[in-house]
């Protein structure tokens, strides 16, 4: 998890509920910051466990961490920010800048996405590449080719201002501490972590 020191702000679950709020016609390649959440296939707990409020990554969780760090290394206009790998999901902030100096902080509100086109530095392209790399590496380690690691979709929120950014950073940093109350924790939703065999991926 990326260290972060900043003011404490409470996370509003109604404001940042885990469902897709992708904006119609929005250009997700333009400069700004975006909060993303990606869940494992059937929310299977495969990345490690939370012990005393801290996330302890296993070898698969370390793959997720390493591949996320590579995301910024491979793209000059992507600046790393806070993130956390949880037992069955991932939270992170993607910051896209206009140049390599990291000047942009929050996303504008203009909507000018061109349908049918996806640049390598857009949020959908970044997430697709990240998910693919993690799936490939974990399946190689497990000897399970073409096995689903992630749910088909992901969740994102366009960060509008510095208060929004600070609040989400704090939420990400504190996620392991609140795992006992997390709606993604199978112990809280009464479901098993392991996905049924021979079933289709969830579609959000």
Per-residue pLDDT tens over the stretch 179-196: 998 888 988 855 433 433
Q: Is residue 165 part of a domain?
A: yes
**Helix, strand, coil in percent for the chain, rounding step 5:** 30, 20, 50
Residue 75 has what pLDDT? Answer: 86
C-alpha to C-alpha distances, 170 to 81, 88, 140, 173, nearest whole angstrom:
12, 20, 34, 5
Percent of the residues in the chain that have a pLDDT greater than 70, as a whole number: 67
CB 98 within 8 A of CB 20: no
Residue 77 has what pLDDT? Answer: 87
Q: Is residue 56 part of a domain?
A: yes
Residue 118 has what pLDDT? Answer: 52
> Is 70 exceeded by the pLDDT of residue 28?
no
CB 23 within 8 A of CB 160: no
Phi-psi region at 196: left, alpha or beta (left = phi > 0; alpha = psi -120 to 50): beta
Specify the number of domains making up the chain.
Answer: 1
pLDDT, mean over the chain: 78
148 vs 21, which has greater pLDDT?
148
Q: Is residue 124 part of a domain?
A: yes
Residue 102 has what pLDDT? Answer: 44
Q: Is residue 18 part of a domain?
A: no
Question: For 53, how many CA atoms within 13 A lie in the half-sphere containing its CB?
Answer: 4
Return the closest-CA partner of residue 163 out of 96, 97, 98, 106: 106
pLDDT band at 120 (very low <50, low <70, confident <90, very high): low
Residue 191 has what pLDDT? Answer: 41
Beta strands in the chain (DSSP E): 32-39, 48-51, 54-57, 78-85, 89-96, 155-158
pLDDT band at 17 (very low <50, low <70, confident <90, very high): very low
Residue 8 has what pLDDT? Answer: 32
> Is 70 exceeded by the pLDDT of residue 21?
no
> Is 80 exceeded by the pLDDT of residue 66?
yes
Q: Is residue 186 part of a domain?
A: no
Q: Is residue 27 part of a domain?
A: no
Q: How far is CA 84 from the centre of its chain?
A: 8
Q: What's the rounded Cα separation, in Å, for the pair 186 and 192?
A: 6
Residue 26 has what pLDDT? Answer: 57
pLDDT band at 45 (very low <50, low <70, confident <90, very high): very high
Residue 27 has what pLDDT? Answer: 62
Q: What's the rounded Cα separation, in Å, for the pair 32 and 94?
A: 8
pTM for the full model?
A: 0.74
pLDDT band at 25 (very low <50, low <70, confident <90, very high): low
Q: Is residue 50 part of a domain?
A: yes
* Domain interval for residue 117: 32-178
Which domain CATH number covers 125? 3.30.70.1290
């Amino acid at each position: 998890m990326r260290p972060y020191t900043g003011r404490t702000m409470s996370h509003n679950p109604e404001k940042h509920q885990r469902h897709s709020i992708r904006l119609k016609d929005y250009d997700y390649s333009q400069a700004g910051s975006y909060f993303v959440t990606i869940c494992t296939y059937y929310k299977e707990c495969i990345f490690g466990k939370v012990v005393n409020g801290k996330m302890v990554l296993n070898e698969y969780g370390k793959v997720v961490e390493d591949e996320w760090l590579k995301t910024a290394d491979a793209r000059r206009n992507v600046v790393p920010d806070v993130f956390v790998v949880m037992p069955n999901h991932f939270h992170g902030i993607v910051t896209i800048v206009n140049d390599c100096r990291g000047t942009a902080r929050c996303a504008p509100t203009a909507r000018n996405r061109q349908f049918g086109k996806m640049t390598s530095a857009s949020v959908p392209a970044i997430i697709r590449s990240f998910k693919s790399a993690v799936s490939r590496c974990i399946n190689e380690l497990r000897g399970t080719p073409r096995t689903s690691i992630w749910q088909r979709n992901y969740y994102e929120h366009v960060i509008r201002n510095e208060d929004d950014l600070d609040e989400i950073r704090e939420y990400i940093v504190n996620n392991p501490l609140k795992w006992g109350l997390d709606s993604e924790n199978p112990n809280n939703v009464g479901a098993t972590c392991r996905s049924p065999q021979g079933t289709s991926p969830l579609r959000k």
